[in-house]
Chains A and B, each alone.
Chain A
Amino acid sequence: MTSLLRAVLTICALLYASVAVADDFSALVQALPKGSYHARSVVVKKLGLLGDARAVPVLKALNNDDLKVAGDGTVLIVNDTTGAATSAIGGAAMGKPDPNSLDRVKANNMVRRAIRTAIGMLTLRDPDPAKRMKAAEDALKAADPEQIDALDAAISAERDAGVKAVMAEARAAAVLKSDAPEAQKLAAIHTLGDRGDNAALAALVPVANSKEPALAQAAKTALSAIREAQQFWRLAQNIWFGLSLGSVLLLAAVGLAITFGVMGVINMAHGELVMLGAYTTFVVQQVIRADAPGLFGWSLAIAAPLAFLVSGAVGIAIERGIVRHLYGRPLETLLATWGVSLILQQAVRTIFGPDNRDVGNPGWMSGAFKIGQMQVTWNRLWILIFCLAVFAVLLAVLKKTPIGLQMRAVTQNRAMAANMGIRTGGVDALTFGLGAGIAGLAGVALSQVDNVSPNLGQNYIVDSFMVVVFGGAGNIWGTLAGAFTLGIANKFLEPFSGAVLAKILILVGIILFIQKRPRGLFAVKGRAVES
């Protein structure tokens, strides 16, 4: 009973004192060690509202249990490891006092919560805009009417438009909880409605349930607008994730679309050619790290042509050594190339070891930016661009160059092409090499988003076959459509069913789809089909 009485008295005394000395910083710091936890949290709050940057180290010290009070009432910040003390008010060094002569200023959860808010308020004035942004977001979540004045001060001092907007939104959320006049609250609802995310939603829901009809009505309108906007962005986000997954699938599958789709050769080692591309990137980065660290930003640009050459050369070797002997026997080709894939996998395991290898992201590949409420990472965006570029170049090669013409001629009618003087053997090797080289390029891109391990190829082989089969063999436009359809479908199913089940559903879907259209989405028509 007496302790409660004392607490109430202290609070009264503190309130009185704070008014009397006009929120003076040193008086508040001096008041910190006194009274109950509740009183202490009140003082902390005041320190936060004061807007004096000197309070930050004091509050941090209090949070870390480094704030001590000496016998004569001086408040000290004592370094935990060295034992050196500084004055909490002036910051002057105070030597190394005997630890036994000091009392710790204690903090409980209530005080710590107050400290977090207070530091947040103080960081509203931080020189670093990112920190100010964070502080403003925190203030928005807290929505504390007592922060309105501090926010007002911060807004008038703020020069960054983005941070200023968030601060205004935080102020609006705080206004809604205060007893400000209705006009101000309506303006606040408007501000938050424009923001349109979960934080705004949280601030508006209580208002929509309030008893004042005008406010509730306005809040309800704003809420439904926000929900609509959120639905839109969720849709956009799903499509973006789908496109991103689709671009990875397309990269992995487009090489297969040439070897399987155009040549009719099942290359089960395709995934391993992708893996070789990824390991080429790893080797290039290792060399750059060791010899020319300045070039690291260029490592992917250097690795891409090399990966194309490495995988392409291995591809040509596979074609000349094995596949050539098995034309017209697709099932045997499938088995032989499976054998190649096992050997390549084991070779990589022998050379580089079975563990994941670390491939770094150059600066321009890392980080993210925001469009509306959607987070877009740079590496995903670059991979999408890269994959579309590869696709465009491939299309141009097939349609516009002499070698592309020969490739199409050989695949359409081998005997006739040979009669016209085309060396079909060489064209076969080049076509296979092209498909394999593109697999290598895919490996460079995949090294940025996936683990580089000997199993890399295995993870993509079933998926890439699904893409080619779904899109329709023999048509690389079909592969494009197939990859993005499957990618987006996968991402739309995931929220309902979870990632694994989504994949199973897609597989079952494709199996059923093939029943309906055994030759895929874009089927090749005509006499060539039956053979």
Chain B
Amino acid sequence: MPRQGLIDRRLAIFLLGLFILTVAVPVGNLAMAGKPVPTYLVALIGKYLCYALLAVALDLVWGYCGILSLGHGAFFALGGYAMGMYLMREIGARGVYANPLLPDFMVFIGWKHLPWYWWGFDHFWLAAIMVLLAPGILAFTFGWFAFRSRVTGVYLSIITQAMTYALMLAFFRNEMGFGGNNGLTDFKDILGFDLASDGTKVGLTMLSAVALAGGLLLSRWITTSRLGKVLVCVRDAESRTRFLGYRVEHYKLFIFTVSAMMAGVAGALYVPQVGIINPSEFSPANSIEIVIWVALGGRGTLVGAALGAIIVAAAKTYLTGALPEAWLYALGALFILVTIALPTGVLGAVETGIGRLRRRPAAKEAEA
């Protein structure tokens, strides 16, 4: 079978939009008088782009391999914590307690030494590696156990939920050394750039856009490869694929780990932009919300997942501000409507609609 092109029309349109955004944001915020793109909007866009990357990561495992992970928020949060640890170390002696050796919260709970797992986090490169490694190792170990013993379907979903729930409880504990309830916050700067300045914010947003584009291209490259074909086979008929001689668990493990690392990168970009990471990021509800982004946008389309994340997150921002009561009703209704009425998601519905419009003139011509 010939390989599908790396960039199809959907992806091309989306990447073009992303490119326009990365040009418009810095120009509108930094270069033009009167700031047509206000700074709060820049931070918001950056946040949405991180969500979009997270949604793409989930779509990779759910849309292409049928693994419905209800614990992807955990990988996102782990990446976020790895970045948060570096940002904490960057604060140095500028904390409330002005302790040059320990972050504020450790001084507060009376610790005298930096625990071993914080060593080296004052180096950005180590934090950057950990952003990939921490979620990667967790996903690899978890997946290695789960896929090898053929835990599938809803059972897998439920234990991934248990995983993120257990991590949430663990990170809430002060003794874990990750700031307990309050998490990590009060960041000052990243690689010497002031996090409060407009320039850094625009930079981070552009970086998020690049990461999203990279994530999309990588996912597209994987899913159009031979390996990607096997993944779809696993999704559609797992037993049959196994009988054909493929080591199904290896494929699943590979894609699960890659997806977790991608989620970790999204988390790492998210934290400096929102300025805080705390254990509530691990909550099962958060992870399920990611699923609805993907389902709304269109499962198994990559671009749709990214769009879904941006649409839902924007709706959330608007509704929690304008009608705080209505947000949960809207989200709940969205879950129900999308699963029953929009099985192919917004992207699927739009494309079917466009397809019908195209065919109609063609049909008329045929009649005439």
In the complex the two chains form, is B162's CB within 8 Å of A335's CB? no
Q: Mark A419-463, 1 if CB is under 8 A from B, else 0.
A: 000000000000000000000000000000000000000100010
* Residues of B close to A27: CB separation below 8 A: none
In the complex the two chains form, is A335's CB within 8 Å of B157's CB? no
* Residues of B close to A530: CB separation below 8 A: 239
Q: How far is the CA of A335 from the CA of B145 in the complex (A)?
A: 25
- What's the interface size class on B, roughly? 35 or more
Chain B residue at smallest Cβ distance from A511: B159
Q: How far is the CA of A469 from the CA of B284 in the complex (A)?
A: 17
Given A322-B340, A331-B154, A514-B155, also A343-B333 (CB < 8 A) = yes
Chain A residue at smallest Cβ distance from B163: A511
* Residues of B close to A331: CB separation below 8 A: 68, 153-154, 157
Given A331-B154, A339-B334, A512-B145, also A346-B329 (CB < 8 A) = yes
23 pairs, A vs B, C-beta closer than 8 Å: A266-B154, A330-B153, A331-B153, A331-B157, A334-B68, A335-B335, A336-B335, A339-B292, A339-B332, A339-B334, A340-B332, A340-B336, A346-B325, A462-B161, A465-B161, A465-B162, A469-B158, A500-B173, A511-B162, A515-B146, A518-B149, A518-B152, A518-B155
Chain B residue at smallest Cβ distance from A519: B155
* Residue among B152, B159, B239 having the largest count of chain A Cβ atoms under 10 Å: B159
Q: How far is the CA of A500 from the CA of B149 in the complex (A)?
A: 28
Chain A residue at smallest Cβ distance from B70: A334
B170 at interface, CB cutoff 8 A: yes
B291 at interface, CB cutoff 8 A: yes
Q: How far is the CA of A199 from the CA of B233 in the complex (A)?
A: 70
A110 at interface, CB cutoff 8 A: no
Given A330-B154, A469-B158, also A338-B335 (CB < 8 A) = yes
In the complex the two chains form, is A516's CB within 8 Å of B331's CB? no
B21 at interface, CB cutoff 8 A: no
Q: Which of A69-77, A406-414, A477-485, A502-510 contacts B (4 or more CB under 8 A)?
A: A502-510
Q: How far is the CA of A530 from the CA of B240 in the complex (A)?
A: 12
Given A342-B331, A518-B149, also A465-B158 (CB < 8 A) = yes
Partner of B336, one of A339, A501, A514: A339
Q: How far is the CA of A503 from the CA of B173 in the complex (A)?
A: 12
* Residues of B close to A512: CB separation below 8 A: 145
Chain B residue at smallest Cβ distance from A318: B336
B288 at interface, CB cutoff 8 A: yes
* Residues of B close to A326: CB separation below 8 A: 339-340
Chain A residue at smallest Cβ distance from B285: A458
Q: Which residues of A contact B (CB under 8 A)?
A: 266, 268, 322, 325-326, 330-336, 338-343, 345-347, 349-350, 458, 462, 465-466, 469, 500-501, 503-504, 507-508, 510-512, 514-516, 518, 530
CB distance from A504 to the nearest CB of B (A): 5
CB distance from A275 to the nearest CB of B (A): 14
* Residues of B close to A511: CB separation below 8 A: 142, 145, 159, 162-163, 166
In the complex the two chains form, is A510's CB within 8 Å of B162's CB? yes
Partner of A501, one of B155, B173, B239: B173
B101 at interface, CB cutoff 8 A: no
B305 at interface, CB cutoff 8 A: no
Partner of A325, one of B159, B328, B340: B340
In the complex the two chains form, is A507's CB within 8 Å of B339's CB? no
Q: How many A-B residue pairs have CB under 8 A?
A: 117
Q: Which residues of B contact A (CB under 8 A)?
A: 68, 142, 145-146, 148-155, 157-159, 161-163, 165-166, 169-170, 172-173, 239, 284-285, 288, 291-292, 295, 325, 328-329, 331-336, 338-340, 343
Q: How far is the CA of A514 from the CA of B161 in the complex (A)?
A: 13
Partner of A338, one of B153, B169, B173, B288: B288
Chain B residue at smallest Cβ distance from A265: B154
* Residues of A close to B145: CB separation below 8 A: 511-512, 515
Chain A residue at smallest Cβ distance from B336: A339
Q: How far is the CA of A240 from the CA of B159 in the complex (A)?
A: 28
Partner of B339, one of A335, A343, A510: A335
Q: How far is the CA of A140 from the CA of B228 in the complex (A)?
A: 77
Q: How far is the CA of A342 from the CA of B343 in the complex (A)?
A: 20
* Residues of A close to B150: CB separation below 8 A: 518
CB distance from B304 to the nearest CB of A (A): 16
In the complex the two chains form, is B151's CB within 8 Å of A514's CB? yes
CB distance from A441 to the nearest CB of B (A): 24
In the complex the two chains form, is A462's CB within 8 Å of B332's CB? no
> Which 10 pairs, one residue from A and one from B, show the smallest C-beta to C-beta distance?
A339-B335, A342-B332, A343-B332, A346-B328, A507-B166, A339-B332, A515-B149, A339-B336, A336-B339, A332-B339
Given contact pairs A330-B153, A331-B68, A339-B334, a sample of 6 additional A-B residue pairs in the complex whose CB atoms are under 8 Å apart: A332-B343, A334-B157, A342-B332, A465-B158, A507-B165, A507-B166
Q: How far is the CA of A214 from the CA of B162 in the complex (A)?
A: 59
Q: How far is the CA of A501 from the CA of B171 in the complex (A)?
A: 11
Q: How far is the CA of A462 from the CA of B333 in the complex (A)?
A: 22
Partner of A341, one of B148, B152, B332: B332
In the complex the two chains form, is B155's CB within 8 Å of A469's CB? yes
In the complex the two chains form, is A504's CB within 8 Å of B340's CB? no
* Residues of B close to A335: CB separation below 8 A: 288, 291-292, 295, 335, 338-339
In the complex the two chains form, is B154's CB within 8 Å of A334's CB? yes
Chain B residue at smallest Cβ distance from A506: B166
* Residues of A close to B338: CB separation below 8 A: 335
* Residues of A close to B328: CB separation below 8 A: 342-343, 345-346, 349
In the complex the two chains form, is B291's CB within 8 Å of A500's CB? no
In the complex the two chains form, is B169's CB within 8 Å of A500's CB? yes
* Residues of B close to A462: CB separation below 8 A: 161-162, 165, 284
Given A465-B161, A503-B169, A518-B155, also A336-B340 (CB < 8 A) = yes
Given A335-B339, A342-B332, A515-B146, also A507-B162 (CB < 8 A) = yes
* Residues of B close to A501: CB separation below 8 A: 173
Chain A residue at smallest Cβ distance from B68: A331
Chain A residue at smallest Cβ distance from B160: A511
In the complex the two chains form, is A322's CB within 8 Å of B336's CB? yes
Chain B residue at smallest Cβ distance from A468: B158
CB distance from A402 to the nearest CB of B (A): 30
CB distance from B183 to the nearest CB of A (A): 16
CB distance from A474 to the nearest CB of B (A): 12
Q: How far is the CA of A458 from the CA of B166 in the complex (A)?
A: 15
Q: How far is the CA of A349 from the CA of B331 in the complex (A)?
A: 15
Q: How far is the CA of A529 from the CA of B270 in the complex (A)?
A: 42
Partner of B331, one of A332, A339, A350: A339
CB distance from B316 to the nearest CB of A (A): 12
Chain B residue at smallest Cβ distance from A264: B154
Q: How far is the CA of A411 from the CA of B333 in the complex (A)?
A: 29
CB distance from B243 to the nearest CB of A (A): 13
In the complex the two chains form, is B172's CB within 8 Å of A500's CB? yes
In the complex the two chains form, is B336's CB within 8 Å of A508's CB? no
Chain A residue at smallest Cβ distance from B170: A504
CB distance from A182 to the nearest CB of B (A): 52
Q: How far is the CA of A223 from the CA of B56 in the complex (A)?
A: 66
CB distance from A127 to the nearest CB of B (A): 51
CB distance from A342 to the nearest CB of B (A): 4
In the complex the two chains form, is A466's CB within 8 Å of B162's CB? yes
